[in-house]
A and B are shown apart, each in its own frame.
Chain A
C-alpha cells in the first residue's frame, strides 16, 4: 500500500487560511469516508484533528476543517496561528482493511 501524497510544506501568515491536500486512490481515500487528519509537534505524539473526513473531536478548534472530493481529501486551517506550526498527516482506511498515512506536510507560520 503506497503512502498518500501530501505536499511537503505549506506556509502562511498569521490570520490567513491554508489548505493541505491528501491524494490517494479509489482503494483508500476515494472509496471510503474514513479519512483522518493528525497534527504532530516535534518530539510529541500525533493528535487527532479530523475524523471521518470532516468531523472534529471535542476540544479541537473550529478553525480546522476537512473535506473530500474524489480521491483527494483536504484539511483547511483558517485564522492561522503560531501554535498551528507543526507536521500534519492524513490517513485513510483501505480496501485491504489496512490503514495508510500520508507523506506528511510541514506547516510554517511566517
Chain B
C-alpha cells in the first residue's frame, strides 16, 4: 500500500543539527514532488518546504530558509530534511506529504494526498 514513514526525530540542543528521513513505498516515488509540513505542540499546520520530483526545484518557508535543506534520493525512495541551527521554535511534529498535482514548468502545485505519521523534534537545552 501507499505509505510514507518518517524517522530521525529526537531531542536536540539549540544550535545543533538534525536530519529527518521519509521513506516512501507503494508508489513510484521518483515521479512525485514532496512536501515537509510541521505542527508545533497544540498549534496549527505550517508548511516547511517542497521539492520537485527530480530534486532540481526547491522552495522554503521564510521561517526555515537558510537553515533547512530539503533533498531526495530517488534511488532509495527517500526524502530528507536537513535542519541546521535549530531553535526552540522549531519544536514540532514533522510530516512528509506527497504532492497530488505538480506542474514542473509553471511551478504550480496543489494537494497533499498521502501523509506520513510524523516524527517529533524537540529543541531544548
The verdict on A21 contacting chain B, using a C-beta distance below 8 Å, is no
Q: Is the CB of A98 within 8 A of B61?
A: yes
Known interface pairs A1-B61, A32-B108, A93-B110; A99-B115 also in contact (CB < 8 Å): no
Nearest CB in chain A: distance from B67 CB, A: 16
Contact, CB under 8 Å: B47 / A48: no
**Is A57 at the interface (CB under 8 A from chain B)?**
yes
**What residues on A are CB-neighbors of B11 within 8 Å?**
none
Interface size class of B (residues with CB under 8 A): 20 to 34
How many pairs of residues, A versus B, come closer than 8 Å at their CB atoms? 72
Contact mask A23-51 → B, CB, 8 Å, 1/0? 00000000010111010100001111001
Q: Does B107 sit within 8 A of A, measured CB to CB?
A: yes
Given the known A-B contacts A45-B118, A97-B59, are A104 and B45 also in contact in the complex, defined by CB atoms under 8 Å? Answer: yes
Q: Which residues of A contact B (CB under 8 A)?
A: 1, 3, 32, 34-36, 38, 40, 45-48, 51-52, 57, 87, 89, 91, 93, 96-104
B101: A residues at CB distance < 8 A? 51-52
Whether A51 pairs with B110 at a CB distance below 8 angstroms is yes
Q: If A46-B115, A57-B113 touch, does A34 touch B44 (CB 8 Å cutoff)?
A: no
